[in-house]
């Protein structure tokens, strides 16, 4: 254990450093996109499966409540939290429709949808991106590996360069936290990304 634990910390740090090196310009573009979306009075949606579903609701909470400062709430919604919607859509239609159906109901042109998928190939994320595109909702793929199918569907892609699901997820939550912090700085302290 004493050898494995430091190894995992080192791997995590290396993946995060490599992500930043490969994605900083796109990351800044996403920060601007989200900031301008909120400025225009529009909403931010998050969705994903499994651990990514937990990340979706975690990040929506940071925007609605607060991240590091007390400030007005920002309109962010996790499409992963309403079990009645998720199970009824899965049962009555199909599991790959669970996020797309909610976007149709709640989204509008000018909103932004962030799909979190470590593989980039989750069918319900892909379907939601298709619907978002039809509706004029900008999309961000927060993914890993080679990005999968999601990168071809999304307007913006932030790809964590790893095939290890735990390392990808650790980087995703760091990306989400920094996104919250930078959007807060832009909106409330007028710091430009």
CB 121 within 8 Å of CB 148: yes
> How much is the pTM?
0.96
Per-residue pLDDT tens, the chain, 193 aa: give them.
889 999 999 999 999 999 999 999 999 999 999 999 999 999 999 999 999 999 999 999 999 999 988 999 999 999 999 999 999 999 999 999 999 999 999 999 999 999 999 999 999 999 999 999 999 999 999 999 999 999 999 999 999 999 999 999 999 999 999 999 999 999 998 777 6
pLDDT tens track for 39-87: 999 999 999 999 999 999 999 999 999 998 899 999 999 999 999 999 9
What total of structural domains would you count in the chain? 1
Residues paired with 59 in a beta bridge: none
Nearest by Cα to 173 from 18, 6, 51: 51
Domain hosting residue 133, numbered range: 4-189
Give the integer Cα–Cα distance in Å for 112 and 114. 7
CATH number at residue 52: 3.40.50.10490
Task: Give CA–CA dist 57/172, Å, rounded.
Answer: 13
Q: The dihedral of CA 79, 55, 179, 75: what is its sign? A: positive
């Amino acid at each position: 254990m004493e050898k494995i634990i430091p190894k995992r910390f080192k791997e995590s740090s290396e993946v995060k450093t490599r992500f930043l090196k490969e994605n900083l310009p796109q990351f800044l573009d996403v920060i601007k996109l989200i900031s301008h979306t909120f400025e225009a009075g529009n909403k931010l949606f998050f969705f994903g499966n499994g651990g990514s579903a937990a990340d979706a609701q975690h990040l929506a909470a940071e925007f609605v409540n607060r991240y590091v400062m007390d400030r007005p709430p920002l309109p962010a919604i996790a499409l992963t939290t309403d079990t009645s919607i998720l199970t009824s859509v899965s049962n009555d239609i199909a599991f790959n429709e669970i996020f797309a159906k909610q976007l149709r109901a709640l989204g509008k042109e000018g909103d932004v949808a962030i799909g979190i998928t470590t593989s980039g190939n989750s069918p319900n994320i892909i379907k939601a991106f298709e619907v978002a595109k039809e509706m004029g909702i900008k999309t961000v793929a927060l993914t890993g590996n080679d990005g999968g199918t999601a990168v071809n569907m999304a307007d913006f892609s932030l790809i964590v360069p790893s095939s290890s699901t735990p390392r990808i997820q650790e980087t995703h939550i760091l990306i989400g936290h920094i996104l919250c912090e930078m959007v807060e700085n832009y909106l409330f302290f007028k710091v430009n990304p």
